[in-house]
Structure 1
Amino acid sequence: MLQDVFLVGIGASPGIAIGSAYVVDRRRMSAVERTLEPHELEEEVRLFHAALQHSREQLEDVKKRVADPHIAEHLHIIDTHLLILKDPMLVDETVATIRREKINAEGALMRTLKGFRAVFDVIDDEYLRERRSDVDSVGDRILRNLVGVSQQSLADIERKSVVVAHDLSPADTMQMDKSRIIGFITDLGGRTSHTTILARSLGIPAVVGLESVTSQIRERMPVIIDGCTGTVVLNPSPDTFREYLDKKQFYEYQAEELTYFRGLDAVTLDGHNIILRSNIEIAEEVPIALREGAQGVGLFRTEFLYMKRKCVPSEDEQVEAYREIIESMAPHPVTIRTLDVGGDKLVSDIDLSDEANPAMGLRAIRFSLKEKILFKVQLRAILRASAHGKARILFPMITGVAEIKSCKNLLNEVKRELAEEGHAFDADIEIGIMIETPAAALVTELLAREVDFLSVGTNDLIQYCLAVDRGNEHVAYLYEPLHPAVLRALRMICRAAQQAGVMVGICGEMAADPLYTLVLLGLGFDEWSMNAPFISQVKRIIRQVYRPEAEQLVAELFELGSAPEAARRLAGEMNRRFPSLFGKPIGGPVE
């Protein structure tokens, strides 16, 4: 048997796990479509409704069994699955297909699920695309109940193990006992699935998206998983085992050390304070953000509210969704970004025609200003929710002053309407814009005069600035945050904001990468927003440096002529200052 078989997937939940494999069967259910006689149709409809009811009972049972308080915070996920079981798009369409096409329930359900998947597959945003896994999980549960196939509960696993599966549902993860399940690896999955969110909350290391790991591993095979780098080692050699055992011990020591920073301010040695907030998409991420020490939400993406629906969410539905997060995060502010859709069809009411280049087409604020009725409903909901705590409004993909003024005019119109109707709201709610195009960077001094704060979306800014699609494998290597053009754009934005006297923040992935902490500090960003698990690590670095030192480093980077030169200089500096954080990965190179 080969030793040291290295696999690379997606590091979904940080940590190191060393143990033996426990393989569980979580392959997707398949179904044979067959034609029915007319007199069989209503019985098939009854069987489908019975499978729905059985699925509801199973999920309710999972909720009752949850004992871990960290998992109890996320029972909303099971509630989401229960709502999917009632979704008319799932239930009514399947029943209609049974009757119209005269086919069995399994075949009709498979057709319905195929339609769902087609919608999700064309969505660019990783988080929103990952919501397909929730529909797949619910659909698979219904199919198993239709055909009478049961599956082993992870709660029944008795020996300490690394779970290996094709995929795992949130219900599976909620049943994990940390004393026995020390980590898991899957063929499918992404960083933003509900399953991995739960794994991070439990502190269980996980690597997902390995594609075919279930075909390469057998029961009780020795396995090492590194959820930090996405590395999996099958049948490790004694030397590799010792290396990872040392790494595991150091990681656990470091993780424990980082908990010390959760309740501290992100303040430099010379007293400069940085505000660290969290990016979130759903309410169940708020407890994680608070536990990690987030001082509010710097970016709440609202697109999830518009998915898997026949019609857009009502004003009252949106008020409730925003209110829940605002109240949970109080007294810290929640920054709500208005709808940022591109060339994707999220709900039946939002039917965007196909565009040759949706990234530069009718998206974000352009779409909202075209669909003013829909935009006003969202603004009304945000304002009404602002009566329950501190809220801020963030407009995406602004490129000029005219767009800001159009947004402000519409917002003022909505304020007048709500006042006349007697609704309470924060009349002085702060408004901000996202700087994510070269156009916005070039005229930041004009834009800053119109708003209360700025937020830089580095993901799009870098792509547009360098004309690089980082999702395109042929040019992704050109996506360079330290490119001289990118650094100059970021400096231009910070200086313009400072001159205008407005707060300037950053909510792209650069904020979450500790490698760039000194760069952002030296450039002058006041507020950083990131996924919650990165907050303590970034805070730790900030608290160990003087701001002038960061400014000097940035000045040196500006003297270099290329991104590779800047990357080498920065890596050397971070390695010198923080060798425990930026040391070379063990076990061979990880690409």
Structure 2
Amino acid sequence: MVTITGKSVFGGVSIGKLLFYKRSEKVIKRTHVDDLDAEWKRFQEAKDAAVSQLQGLYDKALEDVGEANAMIFEIHQMMLEDLDYLESIENIIRTQEVNAEFAVATTADNFAKMFSAMDDAYMQGRAADVKDVSERVLDILCGVDTGLKEMSEPCIIAADDLAPSETVQLDKSKVLGFATQFGSANSHTAILARTMNIPAVIGLGEELSPEYNGKTAVVDGFTGTIYIEPDEETMKEMTEKRQKDLDRKALLEQLKGKENVTKSGRKINVYANIGNVSDLGAVLKNDAGGIGLFRSEFLYLENSDFPTEEQQFSVYKQVAESMAGKKVIIRTLDIGADKQVDYFGLDKEENPALGYRAIRICLTRPEIFKTQLRALYRAAVYGNISIMFPMIISVDEVKQIKEIIAEVKEELRSEGIPFKEDVELGIMIETPASVMVSRELAKEVDFFSVGTNDLTQYTLAIDRQNNKLDRFFDPHHPAVLAMIRMAAESAHAEGAWIGICGELGADLELTQEFIDMGLDELSVSPAMVLPLRNRIRECD
């Protein structure tokens, strides 16, 4: 038996054969070319074929994972039409008199290095994309096939890591789990695993070798461990563990349709946090009472330019209609800090967590803010939409927001465009400043939602992105809990309701304490809705 430990990105136990994702093996050689026009034409034909393939992948992804997740294939198509990219390839072919394969591979390496060297996290992420699209063109030029052979039986997919174009081609009904050598908790593989609710372990390193292809394996997504050819005792233990997990999920399924009510009769709203439209299925499947946080910045992160009013309206309308009258709280764009978008043209900051982000961008660039607000007020006609503003630190900011909203309403009214006049407004409580003036803020808004991730970061003066500080980052710190209690008291004193949409809302150890504080709502990942309902029903 071989035991390899990595990092869990989704819990559960899967047992099956390992199937390694095999990429095409091709050797790119530099060869001299005489007919340069013909070679450039050969590249252009391969590029056009790649664009056509990517359009097919976009159409498939649209059905499988929704528009927001399919957007990556539109971005890849645009990359293949990028003038700088094309000019580099043509220049290498013509000046060095070489074959198209060599020119594409060289350009891909150069661009990937260039992107990786940038300070901007978004641009660093483009390095993998340029390699991915270039590999596709190279496969066409070399005449090789890529990907998995037909999956004849359910199996555990193993790989170094998987690109979006690779995961979308998988037969999802036959994927038992994922095991990858590399990747991060935010990699496409990890996101897909969470969306599909299947066990996944990343960061297993090169110990996860292709020589194990076809071997029986167990992925323990709870501990981040994979067992290859497990012995009898381990197999028995893992089979029992898997059955217990399945039994637990079956019990939770029985909670569907039931209320989130404590033993003493107190009702708590349990909503779901989502990042894009493709997560709606998980919200409905897990019987969430509504959406407590829709992260609208994903519309900006997945676009190559500012999303238009119509693009945003279409997405917000779809979410509102799909939730059929249930509450949908949409947070206005929270760009900045760890979420960078190149077309915003944001300067590099020494301390971006304390910098130009979220509502600070919206209030200083009202043209961006107004576009989003117009789309939101128009979409509110089609469902129960509430609007929430992030990173608030003062009453003045809320008053400025209301002034801009008044302007937006007047514009829509004068243009004869239907919109909902009375939309519930709320703010994120994620700074100590907002807690300290929460009584005054509660007079201005309908609700608070506590962003515990940032509130913990700012209260403890600890960068939550810094892995070296993990041992000091304590969301259970008495100061953090005191902040939440204070915000709750302020909200209720002024007739507003209060919830939590940060990670702490799913911490079942604190559920009883949150109920004691008087919190009205907890918003968690869709997979945590039923476990949280179960915990609430156990509370006094």
Match of 1:356 in 2: 350
Letter in 2 for 1:19: G
Structure 1 position 94 matched with structure 2 position 95: no
Q: Of residues 127, 131, 144 in structure 1, which corresponds to 2:139? A: 144
Q: How far 1:188 sits from its partner (Å)?
A: 3.3
Q: How far 1:90 sits from its partner (Å)?
A: 5.1
Uncovered stretches (5+) of structure 1, i.e. residues with no partner: 64-70, 547-591
What SS does structure 1 have at the residue aligned with 2:268? strand
Alpha-carbon distance change, 169 to 470 in structure 1, aligned in 2, over 3 angstroms? same
Matches within 5 A, 1:304-453: 304-307=298-301, 309-343=303-337, 346-453=340-447
TM-score of the superposition, structure 2-length normalised?
A: 0.88
Uncovered stretches (5+) of structure 2, i.e. residues with no partner: 95-102
What SS does structure 1 have at the residue aligned with 2:65? coil
Match of 2:99 in 1: none
Question: 1:343–1:352: 8 Å Cα contact kept in structure 2?
Answer: no
Match of 1:567 in 2: none
Question: 1:4–1:240: 8 Å Cα contact kept in structure 2?
Answer: no
Q: How far apart are the structure 1 equivalents of 2:120 and 2:469?
A: 22
Q: How far apart are the structure 1 equivalents of 2:127 and 2:325?
A: 33
Superposition CA RMSD, Å: 3.2
Match of 1:257 in 2: 251
Question: 2:8–2:202: 8 Å Cα contact kept in structure 1?
Answer: yes
Letter in 1 for 2:445: V
Q: Percent identity?
A: 35
Letter in 1 for 2:415: E
Matches within 5 A, 1:9-158: 9-12=7-10, 14-26=11-23, 39=37, 42-56=40-54, 59=57, 72=63, 74-76=65-67, 79-87=70-78, 91-100=82-91, 102=93, 104-112=103-111, 122=121, 138=133, 140-153=135-148, 156-158=150-152
Letter in 1 for 2:41: E
Alpha-carbon distance change, 183 to 307 in structure 1, aligned in 2, over 3 angstroms? closer
- CA deviation profile, 1:517-575 (whole Å, cap 9, x unmatched): 223222221111111111111111111221xxxxxxxxxxxxxxxxxxxxxxxxxxxxx
What SS does structure 2 have at the residue aligned with 1:157? coil
Question: 1:258–1:537: 8 Å Cα contact kept in structure 2?
Answer: yes
- CA deviation profile, 1:307-346 (whole Å, cap 9, x unmatched): 3555312222221222222222221122111111115785
Number of equivalenced pairs: 531
Q: How far apart are the structure 2 equivalents of 1:29 and 1:337?
A: 47
Q: Of residues 272, 293, 296 in structure 1, which corresponds to 2:290? A: 296
Q: How far 1:172 sits from its partner (Å)?
A: 4.8
Question: 1:27–1:166: 8 Å Cα contact kept in structure 2?
Answer: no
Question: 1:32–1:106: 8 Å Cα contact kept in structure 2?
Answer: no
Q: How far apart are the structure 1 equivalents of 2:211 and 2:514?
A: 43
Alpha-carbon distance change, 528 to 345 in structure 1, aligned in 2, over 3 angstroms? closer
531-540 vs 103-112, greater mean Cα deviation: 103-112
Letter in 1 for 2:65: H
Q: How far apart are the structure 2 equivalents of 1:30 and 1:309?
A: 34
TM-score of the superposition, structure 1-length normalised?
A: 0.81
Q: How far 1:467 sits from its partner (Å)?
A: 0.9
180-189 vs 428-437, greater mean Cα deviation: 180-189
Q: How far apart are the structure 2 equivalents of 1:108 and 1:130?
A: 17
Q: How far 1:286 sits from its partner (Å)?
A: 0.5
Question: 1:399–1:440: 8 Å Cα contact kept in structure 2?
Answer: yes
Q: How far apart are the structure 1 equivalents of 2:171 and 2:338?
A: 39
Q: How far 1:214 sits from its partner (Å)?
A: 3.1
